[in-house]
Structure formats: C-alpha cells, structure tokens
Amino acid sequence: MGKNAWIAVGAIACILCLSTAAAVRAASQRTGMEAQLGQMMEPGEMMGPGGNASMARRRFYRSHGVPLAYRGLQNPFPATEQYVNQGATLYAEQCAACHGPRCLGNGPSAPDLSSPPSNLAQIIHTPFATDEYLFWAISEGGELFHSDMSAFKDLLKPDEIWKIILAMRQGFPEPAKGASQ
C-alpha cells in the first residue's frame, strides 16, 4: 500500500472516531426518562408533530409499562369529599383549559395545540388508566410524545396530582364553592 493509501485510511479512521464520539456524546446528553424511553421504543414509535400523542403514550404503555420511576405507584388519598373537591378545583385551574370542563378534550385552548388533548372522560374508564399510568402522564406531560401537554411534576406537588386523579375517578365533579387546597 502506498503512502497516499495510508493517508486515506488514516483520514477515514479519524472521521469514524469523530462520528462515534459525537454519537456517544449525544447519547450521554439524553437524560433519565428520555434515555429510558429511547431504549425501550422502536424508531418511529413516538408520534411526530400533529400525530395522536395520546395513542402513542398508550402504545408505549402496552409494550413497556410505565417508566421505572412510576411503577407500582398508588394514590395515597382516600376519595373523601374534601380531597375530591380539592382535586376538582385543581383540575379546573390546571387542566380544563385544554381538556375542557367535562374532560372531553375540548377546552378553549385545544384548537391551538399541535395534537388534540385526550378525552379523559373516556380514558378514565379504560383498563390502562391505572394510578401509575395517570400519575406518569400528568407528571411527565407529553413532550416525549410530541404533545403540547406540560409536565406538571414541577408545577404541582405530588399530593395535588393525586387529588386531580381522585377527581377524575369520581367523574370530574364541578369544584365545590369554597373548596380549599
């Protein structure tokens, strides 16, 4: 092999090393949940913009369950009138703009979103609407499924998310006047 051939081989090896280093760096920058989902999902399994993010989340759940951080979670609050009212108030303040007052996915902000909000009134009666699934969906939001839903884990306390789930399970009652959090 001549000198030019060795130079070409060296250049190719250098390019491969740089490409591998860039890929490793990109993978290491993926954080907890995103990395876990990326390892568990097939390419194209997450919906793109305008897709049905709710269906993508359910498909992920059927295949993989909830991410480890949410597995086995159960609502620690009993369905008392006080807690359900607190959850209904929180739902009205935090969720109704997108999901609608009766949870049909038709809130006043819904038309402006990249994918339609979930019809929670329907979802709550399905087998996959477990406590761990609902807590995961509310906590993490829809970013990983290309949905506009905010991640509420930094906006609401875990107790507040659980109370919203209580209200969902009680049929999305109207907030009682004077209900306190």
Mean pLDDT by 10 residues, the chain (181 residues): 55 43 39 47 40 80 93 97 97 96 93 91 92 96 90 97 96 76 50
pLDDT given for residue 178 in this prediction = 60
Does the 53-169 domain belong in CATH 1.10.760.10?
A: yes
End-to-end CA distance of the chain: 78
pLDDT given for residue 20 in this prediction = 38
Least Cα distance to 81 among 167, 178, 171, 168 occurs for 167
pLDDT given for residue 172 in this prediction = 87
Cα–Cα dist 53/92, whole Å: 22
Angle (CA) 39 44 48, round 5°: 115
pLDDT given for residue 2 in this prediction = 67
pLDDT given for residue 3 in this prediction = 62
Cα–Cα dist 102/121, whole Å: 7
pLDDT given for residue 7 in this prediction = 55
Residue ranges of E strands in 85-170: none
Domain boundaries, the chain: 3-30, 53-169
pLDDT given for residue 18 in this prediction = 38
Q: Which two tokens stand for residue 136?
A: 């995961």
